[in-house]
Amino acid sequence: MNTSMNESDCPELSFPVSVFFTIGVFSLMENLLVVVAVIYNRNLHSPMYCFMCSLAGFNTVASLTKMCENVLLVFADKGQLEKEGFSETKLDDVIDSLLCMSFMGSIFSFLAIAVDRYVSIFHALRYHNIMTMRRTGTTLGIIWTTCGVSAMLMLHVLLLMSHALIDPAIYAFRSAELRHTFRKMLICS
């Protein structure tokens, strides 16, 4: 009996790319509507709505990225792109890092919304002194910068497709005993 580890009795489910593209278009429209509404209406210029706008911004990036990926999949299925080509693989890495950035940004935005709601409930009298627009802007700047830098680092690491370069710096070079041994090895050689 010759069985492969990857074989399964379960049938593979596949959805038409148009379904995902349609979901992406509606998601994009919803999130852009939130961003435009918060920017347009001055009554929505408060910390909570700024954090919601940030969440919608990250979701907009995710929607655009998924729509781009779906278009590329259609071209690949039609034979216009190589699925394993060099440029296509690099573009896939960029898409993956943008999706990870969006995911991280969504989590950070939800966290900021939760903190804002906590302060508004448990420190209601001091809310406007604690949650100033300046602090909100600083928080949003930190969130977007952190997520953007993380995405670039992730892309850089992916473009290098290996974590073998980073692992020694994390676990080996931080050890004083290993550094001492490395120096001895280099001096003896």
Give the Cα separation of 25 and 9 in Å (integer). Answer: 34
In a domain, 170, yes or no: no
Total residue length of the chain:
189
Position with higher pLDDT, 6 vs 187 = 187
CA distance linking residue 36 with residue 62, whole number of Å: 17
pTM metric for this prediction: 0.75
The residue type at 137? G
pLDDT of residue 163: 55
pLDDT, average across residues 100-117: 95
Kindly state whether residue 3 falls inside one of the protein's structural domains. no
pLDDT of residue 86: 76
172 located within any domain: no
Q: How many domains does the chain have?
A: 1
- The alpha-helical segments, DSSP class H, found in the chain are 17-40, 47-77, 86-122, 127-130, 133-159, 167, 176-188
C-alpha to C-alpha distances, 45 to 31, 40, 51, 94, nearest whole angstrom: 17, 9, 10, 33
Per-residue pLDDT at 136: 97
Q: Is the pLDDT of residue 42 over 80?
A: yes
Pick the most confident of 70-79, 159-168, 171-180.
70-79
Average pLDDT of the residues in 40-69: 94
**Residue 5 placed within a domain:** no
- CATH code for position 157: 1.20.1070.10
Structural domain boundaries, residue 100: 17-162
- Here the tokens at position 86 are 């060099």
Give the per-residue pLDDT at 35: 94
Residue 34 lies in a domain: yes
Closest alpha carbon to 17 in 79, 87, 66: 66
Q: Which of 51, 49, 47 is nearest to 108 (CA)?
A: 51
| 10 within a domain of the structure (yes/no) | no
**Residue 187 placed within a domain:** no
- Does 135 fall in a domain? yes
For 16-35, write each residue's pLDDT tens digit.
878 888 888 999 999 999 99
Distance from C-alpha of 54 to C-alpha of 104, rounded to nearest angstrom: 12
pLDDT at residue 166 in the model = 59
Q: What is the pLDDT averaged over residues 54-60?
A: 96
Residue 173 to residue 175: CA distance in whole angstroms: 5
The tokens for 120 are 């508004």
The distance between the two most distant Cα atoms of the chain, rounded to a whole number of Å, is 73
Position 132 scores a pLDDT of 96
